[in-house]
């Protein structure tokens, strides 16, 4: 009988780890570790700044906000990992349900007794130990819905199909504006415009839409949709040198001035973590949410602010890279929408603390305190990771 030593059985079962090592198309070989590291770094940076703005000036220090932020970071990291493991292409079949659910939540939050009102905006569900803001989730649902519908058209966009895409984007904006929340609406407008451009809509149509957006914003500001204090927050940045016309204008100008003082007082190196007169005295309004960047500037100075913006720029770069490397149009549109959402929110939030952008109440991604915004960002990063991991499969 002939010896058969050294021969391989044709029915030999390949072990999972062996398959991982040899299969270059395996999604697990293409995890964007740079993106994951940058997201976690910015989130932990934000947790430290939230603690700094909420701990109080004297012992014993309050760590309640810090604990809640850390819970959201752990929960969000789990969501990001779970979504990354999910094949994003399956969303093509389920996007109508995701989009429809987001519209349903936007409608229900406007119902008195179901949605709760905070600072003049009817935009939250009061849950046990948590406030859910459906407008944050609606931005991502709109991106998913647009990508799902546009990818079905395969670049063939006649006027009817463009109107369908506009209607898909316009419906959530309408309900968010009824809350009213102009800041989130403006972010959605920018995201929609970018998605239409990437999807292949003609230039003259985009120009017409840009003009319509400008006219619509002017109409909203001059109508009775917004309260006086909301109008003041949006228009004060262009009239900073003028005398305040009303007490509301004066309060808004005071808040903006204190934010600028805090950032300017930080200088190059800052006054030190957990230090700073503006931060410790809680003079700047909404320090842990809308104006958290003013605390970064005061405590960590130009250098610390630059490091934070560099980390956030890394996140934007990796999302942009994932959009370029995406295997299909659906993935490209998903990543493009997320990237524009990030860029607009970062630029608007940082700009409003320095007086170069209107005060809209948009949170700084991964940094500002807010469970809905933070979880939505982690969910968005999970989708980007899923697109990046499957670019060869």
Residue 140: its pLDDT value, please? 97
| Per-residue pLDDT band at 352 (split at 50, 70, 90) | very high
Secondary element (H or E) of residue 126: strand 121-127
Confidence at residue 249, expressed as pLDDT on a 0 to 100 scale: 66
User: Is 336 within 8 Å of 193 (Cβ atoms)?
Assistant: no
**Collapsed DSSP state (helix, strand, coil) of residue 122:** strand
Under the banding of pLDDT at 50, 70 and 90, the label for residue 199 is: very high
pLDDT band at 28 (very low <50, low <70, confident <90, very high): confident
Using CA atoms, how far apart are residues 91 and 299, in angstroms rounded to an integer?
Answer: 43
Beta bridge partners of 303: none
Q: Which of the two residues, 355 and 78, has the higher pLDDT score?
A: 78
Beta bridge partners of 121: 118
Q: Please give the mean pLDDT across all residues of the chain.
A: 88
Give me the phi and psi of 123, to 5 degrees please: -145, 20
Of the listed ranges 56-60, 62-66, 84-88, the one predicted with least confidence: 56-60
Helix H or strand E encompassing 245: none
Name residue, tokens 């300017």.
Answer: 264
Mean pLDDT of 25-47: 94
Residue of 20 and 120 predicted with greater confidence = 120
Cα of 374 vs its chain's centroid, Å: 8
pLDDT at 226: 67
88 neighbors 330 (Cβ within 8 angstroms): yes
pLDDT for the residue numbered 393: 77
- Which pLDDT does position 253 carry in this prediction? 81
**Residues belonging to the chain:** 393
Nearest one of 231, 188, 214, 200 to 344, comparing CA atoms? 188
Q: Write the DSSP string, 353-386.
A: HHTSS----PPPTTTSS-HHHHHHHHHHHHHHHH
- Residue range 228-248, pLDDT digits in tens: 766 777 777 766 666 655 656
What is the structure's pLDDT at 1? 44
Q: Average of pLDDT values for 322-335?
A: 96
Q: How confident is the model over 69-86, as a mean pLDDT?
A: 97
pLDDT band (50, 70, 90) for residue 5: very low
For tokens 């995406």, what's the residue?
326
What pLDDT does 269 receive?
95
| Average pLDDT of span 48-65 | 89
Among residues of the chain, what percentage have pLDDT more than 90?
Answer: 64
The yes-or-no verdict on residue 147 having pLDDT over 70 is yes
How high is the pLDDT of residue 2? 47
Q: What are the structure tokens assigned to 351, written together?
A: 């700009």
What does the pLDDT average to over 260-282?
Answer: 91
Distances (CA, A) of 291 to 55, 144, 223, 329, 367: 16, 29, 27, 37, 10
Q: Which of 8-17, 97-106, 211-220 is predicted least confidently?
A: 8-17
């Amino acid at each position: 009988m002939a010896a058969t030593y050294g021969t391989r059985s044709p029915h030999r079962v390949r072990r999972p780890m062996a398959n991982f090592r040899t299969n270059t198309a395996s999604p697990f070989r293409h995890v964007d570790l740079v993106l994951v590291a940058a997201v976690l770094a910015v989130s932990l940076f934000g947790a430290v700044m939230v603690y700094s703005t909420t701990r109080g000036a004297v012992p014993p220090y309050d760590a309640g906000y810090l604990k809640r932020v850390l819970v959201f970071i752990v929960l969000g990291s789990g969501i990001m990992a779970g979504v990354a493991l999910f094949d994003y292409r399956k969303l093509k079949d389920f996007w109508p349900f995701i989009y429809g659910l987001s519209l349903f939540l936007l409608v229900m939050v406007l119902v008195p007794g179901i949605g709760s009102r905070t600072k003049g905006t009817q935009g939250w569900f009061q849950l046990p130990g948590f406030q859910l803001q459906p407008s944050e989730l609606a931005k991502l649902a709109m991106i998913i819905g647009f990508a799902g519908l546009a990818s079905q058209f395969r670049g063939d966009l006649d006027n009817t199909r463009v109107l369908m895409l506009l209607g898909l984007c316009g419906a959530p904006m309408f309900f968010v504006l009824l809350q009213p929340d102009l800041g989130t609406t403006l972010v959605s407008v920018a995201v929609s415009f970018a998605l239409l451009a990437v999807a292949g809509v003609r230039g003259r149509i985009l120009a017409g839409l840009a003009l319509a957006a400008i006219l619509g914003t002017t109409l909203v500001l001059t109508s009775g949709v917004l309260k006086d204090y909301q109008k003041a927050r949006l228009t004060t940045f262009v009239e900073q040198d003028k005398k305040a016309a009303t007490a509301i204008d004066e309060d808004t100008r005071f808040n903006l001035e204190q934010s600028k003082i805090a950032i300017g007082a930080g200088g190059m190196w800052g006054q030190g973590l957990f230090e700073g007169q503006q931060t410790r005295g809680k003079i700047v309004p909404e320090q842990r949410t809308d104006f958290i960047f003013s605390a970064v500037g005061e405590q960590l100075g130009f250098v610390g602010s630059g490091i934070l913006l560099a980390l956030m720029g890394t996140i934007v770069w990796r999302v942009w890279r994932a959009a370029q490397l995406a295997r299909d149009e659906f993935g490209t549109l998903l990543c493009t929408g997320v990237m524009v959402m990030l860029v607009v929110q970062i630029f608007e939030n940082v700009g409003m603390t320095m007086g170069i952008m209107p005060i809209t109440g948009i949170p700084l991604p991964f940094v500002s305190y807010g469970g809905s915004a933070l979880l939505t960002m982690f969910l968005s990063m999970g989708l980007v990771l899923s697109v990046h991991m499957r670019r060869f499969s």
